[in-house]
DNA sequence: AAATAAAGTTAGGGGGATCTAATTATATTT
DNA sequence: AAATATAATTAGATCCCCCTAACTTTATTT
């Protein structure tokens, strides 16, 4: 009973939306799906039939609407991608939240797991590396506004040598203590 | 005589491809467009008619095929986006070139100019900020492989304090000299 | 120049995602 | 409970992009 497993990015969008709605409220309304996706209700009804046949949702007209295990996995995964990409856009590039959210929608499909993992690591790295972190991201913002300024740049480096470095040495000591305990 | 200006991302892909081919060789062959886009020849012929009607190309069957000014602008712009995104993926995230190229295809549409500009700035900033640059990207690679290692991290910081900082101070002096000359 | 090969086009069809208009089912008011 | 409002579905159509098969035009051989 292997059904046509082909999943379009539109279908992924529907599953993501249903996933999000199911997290928010009890009942998932066709109206709400339509609103969120910017389509009309009959379009949703159509797609629900389709997703039902393919085994991604349990759906009885006028009655139930629920993700199957398979559908849930996909909805969740797309949502995860969405969050990651939006994080990159808001936290690193400092793009406005709603613009970032919109763009994330367009990028969340098709991106390979490899690239996605790299992106996760990159966000982590920028935030945890003592060379960078929030202060560096602040400098990036200044750079966007004023370009490269040697004077500012030296200031940043002074600050780094004096403050951030000490913090790391502190962190190192904590690490060592932890090792001794275990 | 205002035609239907609506431009789909598929149409953008065709214009990009034609732009690239026109840069490479003299004659733009339907066969080559088809090959590059992974479609059959009749599909291309269809689209060319469409693009012709909409004023993006000049096209006489069995004869000419050329981008109009309008079509050129779009083809060029999509190509630019493609390059920028691929740069980010290869130069910053260090993704394999061909995978990056593939992913760039999927992301190059829909991305807002704002985000694109931010991305350009970001690539520039990472590469030109003395805190980061190539060495920092190398550290990122290590981080991806081995995670966060306090020991390594301290080494990096030492190296930074000793070498990279000096380089910047040198740069500053050059700047000052330039100012005195002018 | 005739025969063959390659490139391009036409014709007709299909799947995916959307719409409007009309209908039916469910919820809410009075 | 009847009337009304809201939500959901069905039916039928459109648009976009792709396909195969058959045909025509252009290029290459012999």
Q: Can you tell me which residue has the tokens 């709400």?
A: A32
Query: Which SS3 state, helix, strand or coil, does residue A144 take?
Result: helix
Gap between the Cα atoms of B138 and B156, Å rounded: 10
- Residue B36 scores a pLDDT above 90: yes
| pLDDT band for position B2 (cuts 50, 70, 90) | very low
Of residues B179 and A150, which shows the higher confidence score? A150
CA A43 to C1' D26, whole Å? 47
pLDDT digits (tens, 9 = 90+) for B126-179: 999 988 999 999 999 999 999 888 888 888 888 877 766 666 666 666 666 666
Closest C1' nucleotide to B47's CA: D17
The pLDDT of residue B168 is 64
The C1' atom of D21 and the CA atom of B8 lie apart, in whole Å, by 28
Whether A10 sits with its Cβ under 7 A from any strand C atom: the answer reads: yes
The pLDDT confidence band at residue A1, using thresholds 50, 70 and 90, is very low
Residue range A9-74, CATH number: 1.10.10.10
- Which residue is closest to B140 within chain A, CA to CA? A125
CA of A47 to C1' of C28 (A): 29
Per-residue pLDDT at A169 exceeds 60: yes
**CATH class (in words) of the domain with range B79-128:** mainly alpha
Distance CA(B153)–CA(B132), nearest Å, equals 13
CB under 8 A, 24+ apart: contacts of A135-140? A135/A159, A135/A160, A135/A164, A136/B129, A136/B131, A136/B132, A137/A91, A137/A92, A137/A94, A139/B125, A139/B129, A139/B131, A140/A94, A140/B121, A140/B122, A140/B125, A140/B129
Query: How is chain A split into domains, by residue range?
Result: 9-74, 133-181
Q: Which residue of B has its CA nearest to A121?
A: B144
Average pLDDT, chain A: 89
Q: Beta carbon of A115 within 7 Å of strand C?
A: no
β-bridge mates for residue B44, sequence order: none
Q: Give residue numbers, 102 to 141 of B, with CB < 7 Å from strand D.
A: none
The predicted pLDDT at position B152 comes to: 85
Residue A167 in this model has a pLDDT that exceeds 90: no
Distance (Å) from the alpha carbon of B172 to chain A's nearest alpha carbon: 6
């Amino acid at each position: 009973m292997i059904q046509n497993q082909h999943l379009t990015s539109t279908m992924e969008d529907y599953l993501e939306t249903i996933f999000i709605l199911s997290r928010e409220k009890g009942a998932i309304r066709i109206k709400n799906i339509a609103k969120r996706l910017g389509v009309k209700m009959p379009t949703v009804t159509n797609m629900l039939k389709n997703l039902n046949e393919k085994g991604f949702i349990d759906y009885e007209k006028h009655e139930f609407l629920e993700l199957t295990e398979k559908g849930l996995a996909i909805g969740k995964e797309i949502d995860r991608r969405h969050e990651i990409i939006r994080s990159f856009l808001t936290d690193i590039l400092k793009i406005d939240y709603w613009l970032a959210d919109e763009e994330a929608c367009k990028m969340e499909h098709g991106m390979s797991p490899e690239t996605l993992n790299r992106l996760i690591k990159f966000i982590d790295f920028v935030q945890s590396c003592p060379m960078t972190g929030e202060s560096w991201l602040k400098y990036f913002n200044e750079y966007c506004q004023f370009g490269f300024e040697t004077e500012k740049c030296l200031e940043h480096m002074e600050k780094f040598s004096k403050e951030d470095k000490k913090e790391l040495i502190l962190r190192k000591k904590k690490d060592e203590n932890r090792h001794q305990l275990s």
